[in-house]
Structure 1
Amino acid sequence: MDFFGRPKADVSADSASKTAKHVDPAKDRAIPWVEKYRPKNINEVTAQEEVVQVLRSSLETKNLPHLLFYGPPGTGKTSTILALTRDMYGPDAAKTRVLELNASDERGISVIREKVKNFARAVVSQADPKYPSPPYKIVILDEADSMTGDAQAALRRIMEKYSRITRFCLVCNYVSRIIEPLASRCTKFRFKSLPRDQAIARVKEVAELEYVNCADGAVDALVECAEGDLRRAMMSLQSASRMVQGRALDAEMVAELVGVIPADFVKTLRGAWGVSSAQKIRGLVDDVVYSGYPASRVLSQLHDLVIEDQQLNSLQKAKIAIVMASVDKALSDGADEQLQLFDMMMQASQITAQQTV
């Protein structure tokens, strides 16, 4: 009996060893689909052929250098290195031979000097005989671009001193934030955004395994709104599966779920440039704010509309893009959304009204 007086379920060893794909979705809803369908080995990693080919060769030769994975979020950086460690050490030995830290939370020099250094200098334990693994451990530092400069400098020395028994894998979104002495000691791999067709195929596969009824265009809308981030597309699919409640998921539901602003509303904002008064523009901005639309999404969709606008010349587009970039930076720093949107709309209106020679 459990805490609530219910009889405990008899879970056999065979059922516990099943992979996530074969578990009944009705009994496994609590697991995020991002984790449930994460690649279990290096061969399941998709859309990163060059990276997988090099890592597969390293897996065969047992000669792995220090690694630096960088690229947009949701492209499989962390999944790839975790899959590699499972193939290299096996499920049991990986628990003792792999140290995974999220540097965005633990990014100070004290963590590098204590946790990382103590793990790096420890003697390698006996491996599982079923998995003839190499004589070194692996330290995975996720979000390494959030580490302080002092912490990166301390890590450089540790990488040099214990390279014989420990390998490091740095995972980040922006490689420019990694100090050059640290980056030069690693083999760099750039993870590109997933091709549209492969992302659509993966989302469709998960939707079928989870019995989500997707109408025509729903999966395409999920991938398009995710903008190359497969993790975001999977999370949106899982959220949508709870929203539809047995109905067919269509593109309109997806747009509502992820917060896409209606195209007609965005065109109305664009149409106000150069012809509307400041009072009318302020009213449109108030409508955006009171409707709950995020300013970052407004900027993104307006930017796409400006790029394809045939009524604007190249100079006007460039000036408006500079204004949008400035506003986007201010928003990321915590500025007021209503004021920043109004400022952007007024400057864009003045640029549009200018007569070019």
Structure 2
Amino acid sequence: MSEGFFAKRQKTAPKQASNIDDSKPWVEKYRPKKLEDVAAQDHTVTVLQKTLKSANLPHMLFYGPPGTGKTSTILALTKELYGPTLVKSRVLELNASDERGIAIVRDKIKSFARLTVSKPSTSDLEKYPCPPYKIIILDEADSMTSDAQSALRRTMENYSNVTRFCLICNYVTRIIDPLASRCSKFRFKRLDSTNALSRLQYVSSQESLQYEDNVLEKILDISEGDLRRAIMLLQSSSKIVKHLEPPVISNLTVDELAGTVPSDLISTLTSKIAGMDFSDIMKFVADLERSGWSGSAVVNQLHEYYINNEQLTSKFKNKLSWLIFDTDSKLTNGGNEHIQLANLAISVADLYRKGM
């Protein structure tokens, strides 16, 4: 009886492990394993691949907007340098959740930096360069205090023979000059639609997703070049429609998850504003509020619509920009969404009435 029970548990164990792997966030599941898999950052990848051949890395500073592949690039680089076994002892990664004061630099970082490098195994040496130094990755280094950055400068100098540093940040201006001057700088730009779209299509094909036309393009527009946000939005959308029949990701699903207002509602609102029927505008704004759409999202999308509209005059756009700025400021400071949105819509309709 007991043998049958344990035999059954042993048979089901691999299936449970597989389920755990399937439940991983897609941003981790599809994180690039090699430098060549990193999307859009061609210049950075080319330079790093050349340094990979010589295995002589400088200290590095990666900067750029979130979701553009900074952390993925350095992690892929360390895997190609050391392999899956040695990377555990040769790489120390600290992110924004860790303490960033001067104490962590003096203790944890300095202790790891001064350690002598262990010898790699013969099998690792045959497959990977395994250079004689460790790598310390400081993610979101711009959140470190100035004192901590100053202390880090001395640590980088003293242990450069056995340790390399990679600083990752969104704002390079927040890194003190003495620290930045010791690093090779790599700028990461926002992903263009072609590279990001091909990556989303790859993830969709791997997960066997079904979606309406232009859904992936809509996800990219909402994400504004942040591939991590795009992949997370795609995964969330797939979970929502998983139990539907058929399980197709729609544009409305993406809008509801992202908190953006459907384009047809924005088009209807702008048409009513141009029609200058104030009672009709008030009724539609009230319906928008009752449907639960965010007033801030409506204001942002109205801004995009009007500013990108080439049929409107510069004078109209100038006046409109001040109205939107005022409305956005009041919403940020806790103003009533219904009142502020109605006031904006009526004010824009008044600009049409004046013929601007």
Q: Same fold (TM over 0.5)?
A: yes
One-letter identity of the residue aligned with 1:261: V
1:183 pairs with 2:180: yes
* Aligned counterpart, 2:252: 252
> Could you say if the C-alpha distance between residues 169 and 340 of structure 1 is closer, same or farther in structure 2, counting changes exceeding 3 Å?
farther
SS in 2 for 1:169: strand
> Could you tell me whether the CA contact under 8 Å between 2:223 and 2:229 is conserved in 1?
yes
1:39 pairs with 2:32: yes
Q: Deviations over 1:267-315 (max 9, x none)?
A: 46556599687x9988877665554434553343122112123464335
d(CA) in 2 for partners of 1:185, 1:156: 8
* Aligned counterpart, 1:48: 41
d(CA) in 2 for partners of 1:324, 1:118: 53
CA shift, 1:337, in A, is 5.8
Map 1:77-226 onto structure 2 (within 5 A): 77-103=70-96, 105-129=98-122, 130=124, 131-226=128-223
One-letter identity of the residue aligned with 1:153: S
> Could you tell me whether the CA contact under 8 Å between 1:109 and 1:154 is conserved in 2?
yes
> Could you say if the C-alpha distance between residues 118 and 304 of structure 1 is closer, same or farther in structure 2, counting changes exceeding 3 Å?
same
CA shift, 1:203, in A, is 1.2
Q: 2:56 aligns with which of 63, 76, 96?
A: 63
SS in 2 for 1:7: helix
CA shift, 1:82, in A, is 0.1
> Could you tell me whether the CA contact under 8 Å between 2:65 and 2:170 is conserved in 1?
yes
**Greater Cα radius of gyration, structure 1 or 2:** 2
d(CA) in 2 for partners of 1:215, 1:317: 34
Q: Deviations over 1:133-162 (max 9, x none)?
A: 112111111111222222222222222222
* Aligned counterpart, 2:307: 307
* Aligned counterpart, 2:227: 230
> Could you tell me whether the CA contact under 8 Å between 1:214 and 1:250 is conserved in 2?
yes
> Could you tell me whether the CA contact under 8 Å between 1:285 and 1:341 is conserved in 2?
no
> Could you say if the C-alpha distance between residues 49 and 307 of structure 1 is closer, same or farther in structure 2, counting changes exceeding 3 Å?
same
> Could you say if the C-alpha distance between residues 67 and 307 of structure 1 is closer, same or farther in structure 2, counting changes exceeding 3 Å?
same
CA shift, 1:125, in A, is 1.8
* Aligned counterpart, 1:8: 10
Quote the sequence identity (%): 47
> Could you tell me whether the CA contact under 8 Å between 1:323 and 1:348 is conserved in 2?
no
d(CA) in 1 for partners of 2:328, 2:133: 44
- Structure 1 segments unaligned to the other structure (5+ residues): 17-22
d(CA) in 2 for partners of 1:352, 1:295: 21
One-letter identity of the residue aligned with 2:313: N
CA shift, 1:214, in A, is 2.4
State how many pairs are aligned: 343
> Could you say if the C-alpha distance between residues 284 and 252 of structure 1 is closer, same or farther in structure 2, counting changes exceeding 3 Å?
closer
CA shift, 1:339, in A, is 6.1
In proportion to residue count, which structure has more helix? 2
d(CA) in 2 for partners of 1:189, 1:327: 38
Aligned alpha-carbon RMSD (Å): 3.6
> Could you tell me whether the CA contact under 8 Å between 1:74 and 1:232 is conserved in 2?
yes
